[in-house]
Copies of this chain bind each other. A is one copy, B any other.
C-alpha cells in the first residue's frame, strides 16, 4: 500500500527507446510499427507487442524530435494583430483555424510584440513554419519574406491592401467598401457625405482605405467627403450629434454597422430625421442593422472564406511554384434598407 500506486507516478516521459525495450525490439521497429511504414513488413505478433508496450507506457511521440529529423514542420504561423476587429473578422479567423486543423496543420498564433517587421519575421522563422499567413496590418517586408523562405517556409501568403514582394499576396482592397457606400449615396442623390473614422487604434488600417475609396468615388462626381473621427462610446456620439447640423451633411457612411448604430441613435436622440435630414449607411450587414428603425442600409462584404484560404495555403505548400491566385477576394455590394 505504501508503494507507488500506479506507474503514472513515474517522473520521466517514455521515449520510443522505452517502448522498444519493453517490447523487446529495436527503436527502428517501434518507429515502423507506430507509423505504419509501408516500405517495410513487420510480423503481426511483433506489431502487437509494440502496440501494447506503447499503450502500457502511455507513449506519446515527441513532435519536436520528429520534425527535427524530418527537416520540416506542419506549422502554419498566423501573425496576430493586437486589436480585435469585429465579429466578421473573428469568425473568419476561427473558420480558418479549423480548416487548417482539418488539413492537419498546427496553427500557431504569434503576436510580434512591437518587434519591427524583420525582427518579427526572424522570430517566426525560428519555428520553421511550413507556411506563414499574414492577415492584414502585420508588417511583412520583402526581406522578411526572404528570411521565412530561406528558413523553409513553402508558402508565405499575405492578405492585405498591397502586394508584398516575394510573397504570394492576395490583395484585398478595403477601398472597395467605401467606394460602394459612396456610390450608393450618390445614386440616392446625396452630395455632402460624412465618413466616420473610428478612433479605436488599429482600425485605421481599415478605415483609412475605406475613406479613400469613398473619396475616389464621390469627389469626381462633385460630392464632398468629410472624415469624422468618432470613439466607440455614447458620449462621443452625442457630442458629434450635437454639432451635426453645423456640419451641413446630408449623408454619412459610418464605417460599419456597429458605428452606424451608435451614430444613428445619437442623431435620432438629437431629433435629426433619418434618412430625411441625414442618410446613414453602415457596412458588414450584421443582423443588428435589420433590427434598427429605420432599418439600416449597409454594404455587404463577401470575404473569402476561411475554408477557401486554408485550401489555398495547402495548395501553395504542396506546389510552391504554382501560379499566384488572382481571384477577387472581396466583393462588396450596397444593400438598401430604410436609412438611405
**Interface 9-mer from A20-28, A143-151, A327-335:** A143-151
| Residues in B neighbouring A108, C-beta threshold 8 A | 106-109
For A65, the chain B residues whose CB sits under 8 A away are 64, 68
Interfacial residues of chain A within 122-164, with CB under 8 A of chain B in the complex: 122, 125-128, 146-147, 150-152
Q: Does A270 contact B (CB under 8 A)?
A: no
Q: Are B84 and A97 interface neighbours, CB within 8 A? A: no
B residues within 8 A CB of A258?
A: 288
A10 touches which one: B8, B63, B150 (CB < 8 A)?
Answer: B150
Query: Does A62 sit within 8 A of B, measured CB to CB?
Result: yes
Query: Which of A127, A232, A233, A291 has the most B CB atoms < 10 Å from its CB?
Result: A291
Give A285 to B98 CA distance when docked, in angstroms.
29
From 27 to 48 in chain A, residues with beta carbon under 8 angstroms from any chain B beta carbon are none
Rounded to whole Å, the gap between the CB of A157 and the closest CB of chain B is: 18
Whether B68 lies near A234 (C-beta < 8 A) is: no
Count of chain A residues near B, Cβ 8 A:
53
Copies in the complex: 2
Q: Does A212 contact B (CB under 8 A)?
A: no
Q: Does A308 contact B (CB under 8 A)?
A: no
- Given contacts A128-B63, A262-B291, whether A97 and B122 have CB atoms under 8 Å apart is no
Least Cβ distance of A135 to chain B in Å?
14
Inter-subunit contact B107/A109 (CB<8 Å): yes
Once the chains are docked, how many angstroms separate the CA of A98 from the CA of B102? 25
**Which B residues lie within 8 Å of A1 (CB)?**
none
Residues of B contacting A122 with CB < 8 Å? 60
Verify A110–B107 contact, CB threshold 8 A: yes
A287 interface hit (Cβ, 8 Å): yes
Chain B's closest residue to A102 (CB) is B113
Does A340 make an interface contact (CB < 8 A)? no
Chain B residues, CB < 8 A from A147: 58, 60
Tell me whether A126 and B94 are in contact (CB under 8 A): no
Q: Check if A13 is an interface residue, CB within 8 A of chain B.
A: yes
Q: Which residues of B contact A152 (CB under 8 A)?
A: 13
Q: Is A111 an interface residue (CB 8 A)?
A: yes
CB-defined contacts of A234 to chain B, threshold 8 Å: 287, 290-291
Which residues of B are found within 8 Å of A261, using beta-carbon distances? 288, 291
Give chain B residues whose Cβ lies under 8 Å from the Cβ of A151: 13, 60
Neighbouring B residues of A290 by C-beta, 8 Å: 234
A150 touches B288 (CB 8 A): no
By a CB distance below 8 angstroms, the chain B residues around A291 are 234, 261-262, 265
Which of B97, B102, B287 interacts with A232 by CB under 8 Å? B287
Instruction: Name 19 interchain pairs, CB-CB below 8 A, sorted by A.
Output: A8-B146, A13-B128, A13-B151, A60-B125, A60-B147, A63-B64, A63-B127, A64-B64, A64-B73, A64-B127, A65-B68, A80-B94, A80-B97, A97-B109, A101-B113, A106-B108, A108-B108, A234-B287, A261-B288
Given A64-B128, A109-B109, 16 other A-B contacts at CB below 8 A?
A: A8-B146, A10-B150, A14-B150, A62-B128, A63-B128, A64-B64, A64-B73, A68-B68, A80-B97, A84-B91, A90-B90, A101-B110, A101-B113, A258-B288, A261-B291, A262-B287
**In the A-B complex, the 5 residue pairs with the closest CB atoms:** A64-B64, A265-B291, A63-B126, A60-B125, A101-B111
